[in-house]
Structure 1
């Protein structure tokens, strides 16, 4: 009897010894992406090492919009409904990587998922893609809610239903069918269920009335405002999931920042603040921490390190598209983007007098944290990043690996950023609460209390994007400045100028 038991144990151990390496080879072994010397291709579609935690098997990813169109924003246009740009001839939209683990290609979001933009100069124009842009139309929360809704209704994500959708468009080999039906689909179903649990806080009623500043500015039993197109709460997901901190009812909603001209922050002679509130002063740590927030683990990092280095070099050198606003001499009567040369010159002088000290590279306050008491802008984004979050991230040890973060800070203000590509950065302020540059020069009481964001037609008169009227209302999302975290107060610089001075300053700012 003992001999039989020993033999059985030996067989089990042998199967385990064979099965584990086989499972790794078939499902987890990272296969390098095709090599490319194009840094834009790496930024748009390169892996950031998150496929094992965030990657969807390619054919499941392909059929999700057809299986669950009712869970997509506006129930339309497949992945286009979340605002990502799909370039002609590309297999994936901008912001998604395709990387094979084992024998299965997987699709996962990368840096460009948030940092991409588009614009149109005339209503009938096709959209122009903007690399590393400010997320003009990207609805990140809409994508998260899409996956979470599937997780809450996981019984509809059945092997029969998914395989029927896949085999309708792909003659899948028998072995791959077996793998999808009995391994991948059950695993993805479990992952969607976990996703729904992980992000339940986004749509849960708040059970506390105080924000981090101790100010009772939103009552109990209310909801956090939606992020909407071009916005994200970037660090509450990290606080609650990676750092295991409890839901503290903070609201971190803020505009997605473009990633342009970061060579201006690599001067070793001084520290430059990054993120809206200056919570980091190191570009590399910022990139690595962002990838961790998107699901990269240490194993993924060992493979994706070269791509992350390429991303860092790309954003250091990538400029915004040149502004269409200028003092052109050709066809000036027909060009709606033509500006008066004298007005531009007058505006440049006003910029030097009123704005350059904060926003011009090399000036004293450039990329420093301006105190909230001076700015007067909505402070929810500041209060979202807490001392506890800073300390835990500084000592983050995922999987036992010491990431060595040393540049995290807790601040009490917002960063004075550069203004390159300002014509594509609307809406304005850290929370995107002011639709146009002209509105930003108005006293807060005269700024629009509501408007629509997510429409990419340039506002040729006011700077920014068109934010009211038929198409903006039809294609955008209503932004209500009365909601907590959405206030359009503060940043009073320039509001005291005369009408003519404001016209000149807006003219110059549109050319940046």
Structure 2
């Protein structure tokens, strides 16, 4: 009994020091899944794909628990209780994979583009939520921390020939058109509000879901993490009654801009952002050809000419290292790390960029009318290549051979452009990453490479058009459509649906979504579907049809 009492006293002293005296006592850990792969990672390609899929970029710490990370076991327990309406007897039966799949997180059996020579990765937790157990070196304290990683947004279901999604086979690097970070954040907040103050019930749920939890972790959750969580939820409920002071996005679209503003203290305390504009998640094919990043080209290496052409000879180690430094900074808004932590993980971003030089999306699985490919290739070369890049002559797997880094205005929704103002750029430039990034408010949008476009619906930078067929026919673009857990229309190339006779594009009656859905209304702020019209007005219907067939190859 004395031994137990002393251990409890030691724990209480440890957690008090840990959370009262700050960083010297902070806990840090790394991704368990990546650590299990480390001994087998021999090549840069292998390290790149493993880091992309499971790397934590320093985002698993008690520091990030205050920003973007979550205490994994408490989060799962709260969500499970919320699903069972507080029934502890039913909590153990909750399918955690299915629970997180509703928010667009994948729980696959296989990664389709995983290198054949590497051991299979641990897929027992939702892909894109990296976890690790943080322990103090001396004190009996421990907590399992989870945080989002690259694969949360940049890993897609694979698609069958009929356009139906295969949720058991995932392709790293393709866009997750169903990831719904806003729904995830809202569900977490609601669950914590309801059950976070019921410590006994919540910890009992942890024990039922995770019976292997150590004594040290149970006590750390009880005496350290839960009190802080309860305090935080109470304060946020009082201030703005939500987990974040901004919307985290829509299915397949994220809000990196407001997340960055929040990290840079550009959102006043106690206020909620009323106007947000989202980025539709892109395929990552050929993105290393760019000289700037994001739809607004706001980030570029210092001294970079944003609009100079990129050719193969420019894709050397210097270019990749410069761009990797920019990519590392993305972890500040997306994973909630500090600029110092982001800087320490530039090398991780570099191996990811090197892997992306070899990356290809899933080949289009549907039918392609090959009789139209020559015309489609010619239409692309004459009308699209000057902005989206020149591809080689292959009519099997075209590859980029020159990228113009075009920056300008084609009449698309201006919301994101206007919200990315100079105050954000100035804050980035003034910080530690100013040596790696020259941020600027460009007042324009950057044309991306179109590699992987067939699986990147919905289209335009804000995800406001459901199919490429509709994009090419501006007068037919739907006013509303449903996104999330969708199938693809392999002829129109995009979200499968049907016209409802009232200007909308609604799911087919036989469709059963695998994730939460949401209706997109193009009249909402930042979601306008206008623009990129004159480029298609000059094309005949035959040319549009042929171009669509060619784009299936990219």
**TM-score, normalised to structure 1's length?**
0.78
Q: Which region of structure 1 is more displaced relative to structure 2, 92-101 or 22-31? A: 22-31
Answer whether contact 1:449 1:481 (CA < 8 A) is retained.
yes
- Give 2:379's aligned residue: 350
- Give 1:84's aligned residue: 105
TM-aligned CA deviation for residue 26 of structure 1: 8.0
- Give 2:132's aligned residue: 99
Give the root-mean-square deviation of aligned CA atoms.
3.4
Answer whether contact 2:196 2:202 (CA < 8 A) is retained.
no
TM-aligned CA deviation for residue 276 of structure 1: 0.6
1:360-416 superposed Cα distances (whole Å, 9 cap, x missing partner): 157887322123xxx1111001011001111111112xxxx5653432111122111
1:260-279 superposed Cα distances (whole Å, 9 cap, x missing partner): 223323xxxxxx23211111
Q: Classify the secondary structure of the residue corresponding to 1:108.
A: strand
- Give 2:418's aligned residue: 383
Counting matched residue pairs gives: 448
* In 1, Cα distance between equivalents of 2:282 and 2:28: 34
Answer whether contact 1:61 1:107 (CA < 8 A) is retained.
no
1:252 and 2:251 correspond: no
- Give 1:28's aligned residue: 27
- Give 1:211's aligned residue: none
TM-aligned CA deviation for residue 352 of structure 1: 0.8
Structure 2 gaps of 5+ residues are 1-12, 86-95, 110-121, 136-141, 302-322, 391-399, 498-506
- Give 1:162's aligned residue: 202
- Give 1:180's aligned residue: 221
In 2 relative to 1, CA 86–394 (structure 1 residues): closer, same or farther, beyond 3 Å?
A: same
In 2 relative to 1, CA 367–144 (structure 1 residues): closer, same or farther, beyond 3 Å?
A: farther
In 2 relative to 1, CA 132–70 (structure 1 residues): closer, same or farther, beyond 3 Å?
A: farther
TM-aligned CA deviation for residue 184 of structure 1: 2.1
In 2 relative to 1, CA 124–501 (structure 1 residues): closer, same or farther, beyond 3 Å?
A: closer
TM-aligned CA deviation for residue 58 of structure 1: 3.6
* In 2, Cα distance between equivalents of 1:292 and 1:226: 15
* In 2, Cα distance between equivalents of 1:463 and 1:494: 16
- Give 1:406's aligned residue: 437
1:238 and 2:263 correspond: no
1:29-84 superposed Cα distances (whole Å, 9 cap, x missing partner): 5467525224323212211222221333342243232122389xxx9931111111
1:500 to 542, 545, 551: 542
* In 2, Cα distance between equivalents of 1:198 and 1:94: 32
In 2 relative to 1, CA 195–47 (structure 1 residues): closer, same or farther, beyond 3 Å?
A: farther
- Give 1:431's aligned residue: 462
1:48 and 2:48 correspond: no
TM-aligned CA deviation for residue 484 of structure 1: 1.7
* In 1, Cα distance between equivalents of 2:343 and 2:540: 56
TM-aligned CA deviation for residue 287 of structure 1: 1.5
Q: Classify the secondary structure of the residue corresponding to 2:449.
A: coil
Answer whether contact 2:454 2:551 (CA < 8 A) is retained.
yes
In 2 relative to 1, CA 303–195 (structure 1 residues): closer, same or farther, beyond 3 Å?
A: farther
1:369 and 2:369 correspond: no
In 2 relative to 1, CA 451–229 (structure 1 residues): closer, same or farther, beyond 3 Å?
A: same
* In 1, Cα distance between equivalents of 2:377 and 2:179: 32
TM-aligned CA deviation for residue 256 of structure 1: 1.3
In 2 relative to 1, CA 155–507 (structure 1 residues): closer, same or farther, beyond 3 Å?
A: closer
Q: Classify the secondary structure of the residue corresponding to 1:100.
A: strand
